[in-house]
Amino acid sequence: MSSCLEGPRHTSSANGFWFVASYFVLAFGVVAEGEIALRQMLPMRFNWPLFGVALLLPAAPVFDVARQLVVSRKMMASAGSGA
């Protein structure tokens, strides 16, 4: 029995589908337009600062949980020594 609190279930077959779909889109793009056209579509330089921000944003909940653990351990340690 599932609960509405569990959220959507993602399976590895769904992830595999998106991987294969994006592979075929790129493969057919190379065949249809040519490698030169695809290379011209790429940016001249890569925006590393934006990439770093995009990489850190999904990790924000992990940092928040770690911060909460540190704060709760400090509170437990101070409550134990003050009793």
How much is the pLDDT for 18? 78
pLDDT in single tens digits along all 83 residues of the chain: 455 555 556 556 667 787 888 887 777 766 767 777 777 777 788 899 999 999 889 989 999 999 999 999 998 888 877 65
The pTM score is 0.40
Q: Which contiguous run of DSSP H or E holds residue 58?
A: none
Provide the residue ranges of all domains of the chain, joining segments of one domain with +.
10-42, 48-83
- What pLDDT is stored for residue 69 in this prediction? 95
C-alpha pair distances (Å), 21 with each of 3, 12, 38, 42, 81: 31, 14, 18, 20, 59
- Rounded to whole angstroms, the Cα distance separating 64 from 60 reads 6
* pLDDT confidence of residue 82: 61
The pLDDT score that the predictor gives to residue 22 is 80
